Amino acid sequence: MKLKDKKNRVLRDLRISVTDRCNYRCIYCMPREVYQKYDYLKHSELLTFEEIGRIVNIFSELGVRKVRLTGGEPLVRKDIEQLISLLAQNPELDLSMTTNGSFPTTRVHSLKDAGLKRLTLSLDSLDEVVYKKMNDVDQSVENAMRWINECEKVGLGPIKINTVIKRGVNEESILPLVERFKGTPYILRFIEFMDVGTTNSWKMDDVVTEKEIIATINSKYPLQPIAPNYSGEVARRYEFADGSGELGVIASVTQAFCGACSRMRLSAHGSLYLCLFANKGTDLRSMIRGGASDEEISLFIQNLWTGRSNRYSEERSEAKTNTDKVEMSFIGG
Ligand code: SF4
């Protein structure tokens, strides 16, 4: 099935936040001053794995093929491998996860064995001091690097590496990261600092733009833009002129990509969000716990998507930036 919204965008991706908690305090997502004392969702409020499995089956009937597990930090959710095993029973699904790579590397094996297909690792610097500045926790780059090696060993690669760049904090990390991963199968994706939610004190001045990121790299390692792998791909791709691989930039602030946005998001407490910058979600949990049939839930989702016209990044303005928006840690990136 091809379900189209008001902008003719086909629903293809579902991002599922399995928890609103994280063991990191990234300054661009869950700043400590806000999230240290925070009213997190209670366990009873979370969708169960069975409920998530049922929702995903309904979405896959509607054409969803890519399911990404996020958080907060998805590995904070106990026994997440059980959910992956459940979802992996559907061979049509491309099951992936985004993690901060801070858990023991034994989890790489259990995730792979459970049926995870792809993994994206957040890594904001190779410099321990800068890494801690960005993530505001006493965790080490080394563990994240061990995850990269372990993923390769178990064949969960090539993994993508996401790096958020914030001016004045980690722009000096761009070239060292390029030098570390250039010539390897790993795909670096630099992310412009985004005005997600309302807690990360976002300012345009703190955004290192795609243009600046590419200029920094180009000055030492010439790059050329290449075509997207598929319509709706969030990262703009560049390959090294010397043929030693590629990297990407996710430029939601300066190069909006709403035109082909195919993503819906499900929060850990069972609400659907039509955009990363949405003001509010639509409750699905009470339908599920209220005894609604699969047909009723499917129709509900279809009506939600076909009525969708969100394109926040294309419309971003001073006024919009300051509106009340859902937190990224609540619906996943
Ligand atoms: S801003 Fe919203 S509509 Fe635009 S690409 Fe992001 S999630 Fe999609």
Domain coordinates in residue numbering, the chain:
13-331
Query: Is the pLDDT assigned to residue 306 strictly greater than 90?
Result: yes
Query: Is the pLDDT assigned to residue 13 strictly greater than 90?
Result: yes
Averaged pLDDT for residues 172-193: 97
Say how many CA atoms lie within 13 Å of 187 toward its Cβ.
19
Does domain 13-331 match CATH 3.40.50.720? no
Q: In DSSP terms, which residues pair with 273 in a beta bridge?
A: 265
Query: Is the pLDDT assigned to residue 151 strictly greater than 90?
Result: yes
Torsion, Cα of 269, 273, 277, 278 (10° steps) = -100
The whole-model pTM stands at: 0.95
What 8-state DSSP symbol labels residue 199?
T
How far apart, in Å, do the first and last CA atoms of the chain sit? 26
Q: Does the C-beta of 258 come closer than 6 Å to ligand 1? A: yes
Distance CA 288, CA 297 (A): 8
Q: Does the C-beta of 312 come closer than 6 Å to ligand 1? A: yes
Q: 3-state DSSP: the chain helix, strand, coil percent, rounded to 5?
A: 35, 20, 45
pLDDT digits (tens, 9 = 90+) for 72-109: 999 999 999 999 999 999 999 999 999 999 999 999 99
Q: Does the C-beta of 217 come closer than 6 Å to ligand 1? A: no
pLDDT digits (tens, 9 = 90+) for 243-283: 999 999 999 999 999 999 999 999 999 999 999 999 999 99
What is the structure's pLDDT at 107?
A: 98
d(CA 311, ligand 1 centre) in Å: 5
Query: Is the pLDDT assigned to residue 333 strictly greater than 90?
Result: no
For the chain, percent of residues with pLDDT exceeding 70: 99
